[in-house]
């Protein structure tokens, strides 16, 4: 369908995405990587969760910092009647277009990564086209997981044992509010671990290994977050934190079994997943302000370039605990966190722009869906049904 596409926000999620804007987002990330020194290491890279956020940036680094062939796995929707495709769909279409222009192998499997069917398809594709994969990035952020027997687990963003009341930012109304997050019950904690813990990562690694499509010295990395004490009740000590602890234990287990498995603790950033976490928008908008003023703000692409160039291209990644890489070093710097705390205590409706980068937050949110780029003509009609040349459903 050829139409003019405008943003339509339902709270923090945009229900439309702009194909030309998503292409611009991908182009900018590629340009950034091209402007940086290459790693000089060509590998075969599988990215699970490859279409948005950290996974998309990982795939871009693999392709343009390494010159590596990539297979992406994601769960996105093509345009249908009056509905645009999802941002991740357009990002993937753009990724493949630019990869083809630069002579880089790129194929995408669009389907439920939790399913055996998608794992088997990925194995077949690696066998057929590569033989073996050298790097496996696990960057899934999913709201639910359907098991083989049809059981559905849904992840929740709650505290672990007691209610937590805190300042919050209503980004739509630009108002400081109070938010109370209720504790999860045991079932909800278990479900969140099922969805966002390490079980599926473990299954992926074992499926690939058993099929003989994993190089002997293959490296695998899954992404995590810790953050400051301020957000512990909702993140590190909350339901999602329990899942991330499981993810970390899975890295240790994979290492015990002889695999090069790591967790990379990344910086907090606005992505489709993090925007959904209560209290995090206030923390993020203060953090953006402080880190931009200190000249150390990074987006997903700068973070992933550091992972690729400084860690995954060295003989052994630098870790601060067994199997744990830190990319949140600038975020967690004492001077940065001190300023964030100052802002947190002082912020009110009257001084929102003094202490928060709410406009930067909105800019990231808009750009995630392909809106708000200078070079894109948002009054022009565009074809919303974009094909992804290689996609296998
Ligand atoms: P995101 O929402 O931008 O990306 C999620 C990806 O997972 C997308 O490619 C999506 O298509 C894919 N996906 C979701 N469900 C799927 C399914 N069933 N099958 C196949 N693909 C599926 O998320 P993100 O923020 O980039 O998060 C990626 C990882 O990074 C997560 O583990 C997250 O916890 C971690 N992380 C995020 C932040 C942050 O601030 N955003 C910080 C540190 C770590």
Instruction: Give residue 304 CA to ligand 1 midpoint distance, Å.
Output: 14
The CB of 54 under 6 Å from ligand 1? The reply is: yes
Active site residue 202: no
Rounded to whole angstroms, the Cα distance separating 358 from 49 reads: 27
Categorize the per-residue pLDDT at 107 as very low, low, confident or very high, splitting at 50, 70 and 90: very high
Give me the percent of the chain exceeding a pLDDT of 90: 90
Q: Which of 25, 49, 142, 329 has the most ligand 1 atoms within 8 A of CB, as the residue to mutate? A: 49
Structure tokens at 202: 């473990």
Q: Span 200-215, mean pLDDT?
A: 98
The CB of 277 under 6 Å from ligand 1? The reply is: no
Rounded to whole angstroms, the Cα distance separating 293 from 335 reads: 12
Q: Which of 12, 55, 148, 287 has the most ligand 1 atoms within 8 A of CB, as the residue to mutate? A: 55
Tens of pLDDT, residue by residue over 343-385, are 999 999 999 999 999 999 999 999 999 999 998 999 999 999 9
Per-residue confidence (pLDDT) for residue 177, from 0 to 100: 92
Per-residue confidence (pLDDT) for residue 10, from 0 to 100: 82
Q: Catalytic one among 153, 202, 235, 305?
A: 235
Point out the ligand 1 atom lying closest to the alpha carbon of residue 368: 3
The CB of 159 under 6 Å from ligand 1? The reply is: no
Rounded to whole angstroms, the Cα distance separating 29 from 385 reads: 23
The CB of 140 under 6 Å from ligand 1? The reply is: yes
Per-residue confidence (pLDDT) for residue 173, from 0 to 100: 87
Give me the percent of the chain exceeding a pLDDT of 70: 99
**Distances 370 to 12, 118, 276, 373, 391 between C-alpha atoms, Å:** 15, 28, 19, 7, 21
The label of the residue with tokens 């990319």 reads 327
Q: Which of 148, 157, 25 is nearest to 88 (CA)?
A: 25
Tell me which of 140-144, 312-316, 334-338, 344-348 is least confident. 312-316
The pLDDT of residue 126 is above 70: yes
Q: Is 63 in contact with 99 (CB distance < 8 Å)? A: yes
Tens of pLDDT, residue by residue over 172-196, are 889 999 989 999 999 999 999 999 9
Per-residue confidence (pLDDT) for residue 393, from 0 to 100: 58
Tens of pLDDT, residue by residue over 219-230, are 999 999 999 999
Rounded to whole angstroms, the Cα distance separating 243 from 237 reads: 10
Instruction: Give residue 378 CA to ligand 1 midpoint distance, Å.
Output: 27
Instruction: Give residue 273 CA to ligand 1 midpoint distance, Å.
Output: 6
- Could you give the angle at the alpha carbon of 141 between the alpha carbons of 140 and 142, nearest 5°? 105
Rounded to whole angstroms, the Cα distance separating 347 from 344 reads: 6
Per-residue confidence (pLDDT) for residue 315, from 0 to 100: 85
- What's CA 315's distance to the chain center, in Å? 25
Q: Is 283 in contact with 343 (CB distance < 8 Å)? A: no
- What's CA 177's distance to the chain center, in Å? 27
Categorize the per-residue pLDDT at 42 as very low, low, confident or very high, splitting at 50, 70 and 90: very high
């Amino acid at each position: 369908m050829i139409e003019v596409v405008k943003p339509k926000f339902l709270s923090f999620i945009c229900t439309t995405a702009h194909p030309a804007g998503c292409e611009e987002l991908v182009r900018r990330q590629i340009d950034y990587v091209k402007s940086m020194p290459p790693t000089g290491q060509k590998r075969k890279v599988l990215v699970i969760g490859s279409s948005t956020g950290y996974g998309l940036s990982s795939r871009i680094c693999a392709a343009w910092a390494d010159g590596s062939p990539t297979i992406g796995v994601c769960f996105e929707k093509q345009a249908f009647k009056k509905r645009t495709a999802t941002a991740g769909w357009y990002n993937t279409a753009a990724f493949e277009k630019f990869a083809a222009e630069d002579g880089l192998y790129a194929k995408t499997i669009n389907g439920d990564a939790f399913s055996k069917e998608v794992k088997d398809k990925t194995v077949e594709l690696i066998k057929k086209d590569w033989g073996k994969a050298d790097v496996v990035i696990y960057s899934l952020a999913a709201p639910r997981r359907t098991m083989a027997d049809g059981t559905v687990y849904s992840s929740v963003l709650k505290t672990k044992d007691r209610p937590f009341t805190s300042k919050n930012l209503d980004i739509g109304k630009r108002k400081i509010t109070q938010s109370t997050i209720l504790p999860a019950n045991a079932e909800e904690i278990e479900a969140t671990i099922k969805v966002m813990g390490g079980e599926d990562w473990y299954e992926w690694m074992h499926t690939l290994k058993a099929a003989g499509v994993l190089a002997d010295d293959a490296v695998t990395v899954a992404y995590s977050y810790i953050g400051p004490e301020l957000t512990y009740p909702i993140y590190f000590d909350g339901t999602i934190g329990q899942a991330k602890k499981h993810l970390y234990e899975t890295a240790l287990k994979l290492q015990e079994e002889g695999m090069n498995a790591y967790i990379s603790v990344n910086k907090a950033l606005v992505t489709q997943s993090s925007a959904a976490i209560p209290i995090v928008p206030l923390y993020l908008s203060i953090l953006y302000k402080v880190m931009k003023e200190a000249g150390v703000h990074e987006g997903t692409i700068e973070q992933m370039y550091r992972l690729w160039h400084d860690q995954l291209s060295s003989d052994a990644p630098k870790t601060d605990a067994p199997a744990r890489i830190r990319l949140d070093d600038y975020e967690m710097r004492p001077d940065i966190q001190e300023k964030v705390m100052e802002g947190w205590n002082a912020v009110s409706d009257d001084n929102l722009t003094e202490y928060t980068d709410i406009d930067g937050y909105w800019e990231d949110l808009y750009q995630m869906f392909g809106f708000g780029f200078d070079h894109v003509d948002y009054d022009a009609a565009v074809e919303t049904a974009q094909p992804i040349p290689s996609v296998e459903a």
